[in-house]
Structure 1
Amino acid sequence: DAIMWAYPDATPNKDFVLRNDGNGPYIEKWNLRAPIPTEEELQLWWEESKKSQLYPPPSLIESLGRQLTEERLARKALEESYKLMGEELAKLKIESLQLKGEQKQ
């Protein structure tokens, strides 16, 4: 929420990725054209966001819907990659069989 308050046009999981390995959240990836914020900046933004409410936090349903959409898009991209790899493997198999046939002659 603090990052979204400071960068309202940012897209979570695209412009920045947060992660929590059990020791508290941290910024895993930062794709914005700005320096990665410090802990102090994040804390300040968090306090300011609570005061102003310029950025209303997304509802749980909105967050889950966004995450589901992102996962569907990722799955679709993987399926397309698998399809292309399968086609390439089939071509290589045909070429391999053709080469083996030429060597026997």
Structure 2
Amino acid sequence: MNEALAIKYLYPNTELGEDYFVRDDGKGQFIDKWALDDPIPSDEVLEVAWNEYLAKNGEKPISNVERQLLLLGGQLALASFYCIDQPRTYHVGQICFADQ
């Protein structure tokens, strides 16, 4: 479940990072800070909202494997850049890859 999107679905006029903060510690998302006057929604309420959001938007939840692949891809994208001394190669960590 994406708690940030579930909250946005429940409270469409709120802003992530202003009205509420969601964090992921590697074991799943959780509400880190809540600045709304309404009480913090329970996990059950968030789960219902998440499923309604998915149904409304015609989406299906991604698996843990798909989620990890997306995170890994994002990390590689941030860590990748061209090697200055070798044209058409990419640097990831300590490794350079040739662009074929």
State the TM-score, normalizing by the size of structure 1: 0.48
AA at the equivalent of 2:23? R
Asked if 1:50 corresponds to 2:54, the answer is yes
Looking at structure 2, the residues matched to 52 and 25 of structure 1 have their Cα atoms a distance apart, in angstroms, of: 22
Q: Counterpart in 1 of 2:15?
A: 11
Q: Which has the higher contact order (CA 8 A, sep 6+)?
A: 1
After TM superposition, the runs of 4+ consecutive aligned structure 1 residues lying more than 2 A away are none
Question: C-alpha displacement at 1:22, in angstroms?
Answer: 1.3
State the TM-score, normalizing by the size of structure 2: 0.51
Q: Counterpart in 2 of 1:20?
A: 24
Normalized per residue, the structure richer in strand is 2
Q: Counterpart in 2 of 1:30?
A: 34
RMSD over equivalenced CA pairs, Å: 0.8
User: SS where residue 5 of structure 1 aligns?
Assistant: helix
Question: C-alpha displacement at 1:44, in angstroms?
Answer: 0.2
Normalized per residue, the structure richer in helix is 1
Report sequence identity in percent: 38
Structure 1 unmatched runs, 5+ = 54-105
AA at the equivalent of 1:11? E
Structure 2 unmatched runs, 5+ = 58-100
Question: C-alpha displacement at 1:52, in angstroms?
Answer: 2.0
AA at the equivalent of 2:48? L
